[in-house]
């Protein structure tokens, strides 16, 4: 329930701070006084997009703040997921500047997407868009589902899981069939490629290994010359001289301790150097030039480069492709069996999907009957003698089930039921809209209903019936309504007057909650449309007090 609304620097509203109570609150005032700005402010709190053009001239920012009492467990769960501190009340704030707008819920900054998650639990605003919604066939199924969300939810979830499984199986079958088609078209080519790559005997990393060996053989003269020179060096008396040097250092250390450290270091390395030289002697002795090996390596290099150019792949990629071809040709041997098994699975899943769709359809039809009965009663209360039917049409399974629905109505007895969107007139549309709103407000447990001139296009006895219906709704839900009709305004529990004044060359919108006497006078003005007579005051008093 909305407790308090604060608006600052929004268009012609400079500063408004108003409390709302339980029951039926009506907002009246001259055209252009700012009634719609109050509704716009509430719309912003409920997730509408903001424009910097709403900022009052000369100001840097506009702000709207709404305080709500909440009692919905589902809303509490959503707030918990958003990590918004728990509380029995909810404060929504929006600040609009020329560059950005900020949204906070209980002091935590959130996105517009987050705000739209919680707004359906706070209030429902009737606007002109709602007429488009109720006259749009595409919305009817979601309206039926929304009427009994908790009851239908489990059936929809089971259907959605069945649809997901069926779509997965269908996709897998399609992939297998496409794979078979490609195999059938390219089998010989794949066999040729597989054999060619198998015969090539590709080994991972062989290019790098071959390159090193080729480099050695191609530069044999240089390598041989260097190796021979190194061999001559290590075969000279270098080791013997090193041995003699170490002996001299040992003797010197007996007379001068400073040579002892040099002796120990050289002694440690001496035998290591001897081992290295022995190993090098073996290497230099075994080093030989093999022209046949060079030819083999050069041919291998040519063959690998040819394959790489042909397939436009590296050697490692060719090895991976070879394995892929093996798997592909292995699949070819049993793909018909796989397709047959997958087709059986798909058929079984389709039957399950249809069964789940039928279950969902059955509960929807039960809900539809409840909507029909409730709506016919509300239409009767609103002085519309009408027959209403929700017609079900079976369709192929889709994300919404196996149903499409039409709303059929007969407002002229004997004319037969016709599509709702093609039948109703302006005044009828207001009452039908209110009849729908009434039943959905109760079914969805919406705490606050906001009506922006839902009584447009009606008068007389029908206007009185609309007022009674709104009053009836307010016995169980908080209702805030803008109206120009005295028949509606007179039935309110609380009356707020919105007026426009000009002060110091600026326009201001001001709001005032009326006393009983002030309310009667305002109702009289709505009756007269101008100057109020004593008779009109008496009539207005009678209208107000009878409620």
CATH number at residue 46: 3.40.50.300
198 and 326 belong to one structural domain:
yes
Between 190 and 4, where is the model more confident?
Answer: 4
CA distances from 190 to 104, 213, 325, 331, 335 (A): 62, 34, 7, 12, 16
193 and 256 belong to one structural domain:
yes
105 and 241 belong to one structural domain:
no
CA distances from 536 to 459, 484, 491, 516 (A): 17, 16, 17, 16
185 and 297 belong to one structural domain:
yes
pLDDT at 289: 58
Residues sharing a CB contact under 8 Å with residue 67, sequence separation 6 or more, in sequence order? 2, 3, 4, 5, 89, 90, 91
> Average model confidence (pLDDT) for the chain?
85
In a domain, 507, yes or no: yes
pLDDT at 528: 87
315 and 201 belong to one structural domain:
yes
Domain edge (last residue) among 296, 314, 335? 335
In a domain, 135, yes or no: no
Model confidence at 490: pLDDT above 60: yes
Percent of the chain surpassing pLDDT 90? 35
In a domain, 349, yes or no: no
Closest to 460 (Cα-Cα) out of 533, 376, 383, 521:
383
pLDDT at 280: 63
| pTM of the predicted model as reported, rounded to 2 decimal places | 0.66
In a domain, 538, yes or no: no
Number of domains comprising the chain: 2
200 and 315 belong to one structural domain:
yes
**Residues 220, 289: contact at Cβ < 8 Å?**
yes
Residue-wise pLDDT for 258-269, tens only, equals 778 888 888 888
In a domain, 144, yes or no: no
Where in the sequence is the domain holding 274, given as residue range(s)?
178-335
In a domain, 348, yes or no: no
Mean pLDDT value of segment 337-356? 94
Q: In the structure, what pLDDT confidence band is assigned to residue 387 with cuts at 50, 70 and 90?
A: confident
Cα four-point dihedral sign 523, 527, 533, 536: negative
Alpha helices, DSSP H, located in 13-111: 35-45, 73-81
200 and 305 belong to one structural domain:
yes
In a domain, 35, yes or no: yes
In a domain, 387, yes or no: no
Domain edge (last residue) among 298, 314, 335? 335
Domain edge (last residue) among 294, 315, 335? 335
């Amino acid at each position: 329930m909305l407790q308090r609304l604060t608006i600052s620097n929004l268009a012609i509203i400079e500063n408004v701070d108003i409390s709302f109570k339980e029951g039926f609150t009506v907002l009246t005032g001259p055209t252009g006084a700012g009634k719609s700005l109050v509704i716009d402010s509430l719309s912003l709190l409920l997730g509408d997009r903001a424009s910097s053009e709403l900022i009052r001239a000369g100001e840097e920012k506009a702000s709207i703040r709404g305080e709500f009492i909440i009692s919905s467990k589902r809303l509490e769960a959503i707030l918990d997921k958003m990590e918004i501190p728990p509380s029995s009340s909810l404060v929504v704030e929006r600040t609009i500047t020329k560059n950005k707008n900020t949204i906070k819920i209980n002091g935590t900054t959130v996105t517009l997407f987050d705000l739209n998650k919680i707004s359906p639990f706070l209030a429902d605003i009737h606007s002109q868009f709602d007429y488009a919604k109720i006259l749009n066939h595409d919305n009817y199924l979601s309206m039926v589902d929304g009427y009994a969300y908790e009851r239908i939810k489990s059936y929809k979830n089971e259907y959605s899981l069945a649809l997901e499984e069926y779509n997965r199986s269908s996709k897998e079958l399609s992939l297998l069939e496409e794979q078979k088609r490609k195999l059938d078209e390219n089998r010989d080519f794949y066999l040729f490629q597989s054999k060619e790559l198998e015969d090539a005997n590709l080994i991972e990393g062989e290019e790098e290994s071959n390159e090193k060996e080729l480099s050695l053989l191609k530069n044999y003269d240089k390598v041989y010359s260097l190796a021979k020179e190194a061999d001559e060096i290590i075969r000279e008396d270098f080791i013997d001289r090193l041995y003699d040097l170490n002996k001299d250092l040992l003797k010197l250390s007996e007379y001068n301790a400073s040579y002892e450290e040099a002796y120990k270091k050289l002694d440690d390395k001496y035998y290591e150097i001897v081992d290295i030289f022995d190993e090098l002697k073996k290497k230099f002795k075994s080093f030989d030039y093999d022209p046949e090996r060079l030819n083999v390596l050069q041919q291998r290099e040519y063959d690998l480069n040819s394959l790489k150019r042909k397939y436009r792949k590296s050697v490692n990629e060719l090895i991976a492709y070879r394995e892929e071809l093996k798997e592909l040709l292995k699949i070819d041997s049993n793909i018909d069996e796989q397709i047959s098994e997958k087709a059986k699975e798909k058929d079984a899943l389709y039957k399950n999907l249809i069964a789940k769709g039928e279950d969902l359809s059955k509960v929807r039809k039960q809900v539809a009957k409840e909507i029909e009965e409730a709506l016919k009663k509300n239409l009767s209360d609103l002085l519309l003698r009408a027959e209403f039917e929700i017609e079900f049409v079976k369709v192929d399974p889709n994300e919404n089930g196996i149903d499409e629905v039409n709303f059929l109505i007969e407002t002229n007895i004997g004319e037969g039921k016709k599509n709702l969107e093609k039948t109703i007139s302006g005044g009828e549309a207001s009452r039908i809209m209110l009849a729908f709103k009434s039943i959905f407000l109760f079914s969805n447990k919406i705490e606050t209903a906001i009506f922006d001139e839902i009584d447009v296009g009606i008068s007389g006895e029908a206007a009185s019936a609309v007022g009674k219906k709104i009053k009836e709704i307010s016995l169980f839900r908080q209702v805030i309504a803008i109206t120009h009709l005295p028949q509606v305004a007179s039935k309110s529990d609380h009356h707020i007057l919105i007026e426009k004044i000009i002060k110091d060359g600026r326009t201001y919108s001001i709001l005032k909650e009326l006393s009983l006497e002030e309310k009667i006078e305002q109702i009289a003005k709505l009756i007269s449309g101008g100057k109020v007579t004593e008779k009109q005051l008496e009539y207005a008093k009678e209208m107000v007090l009878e409620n």
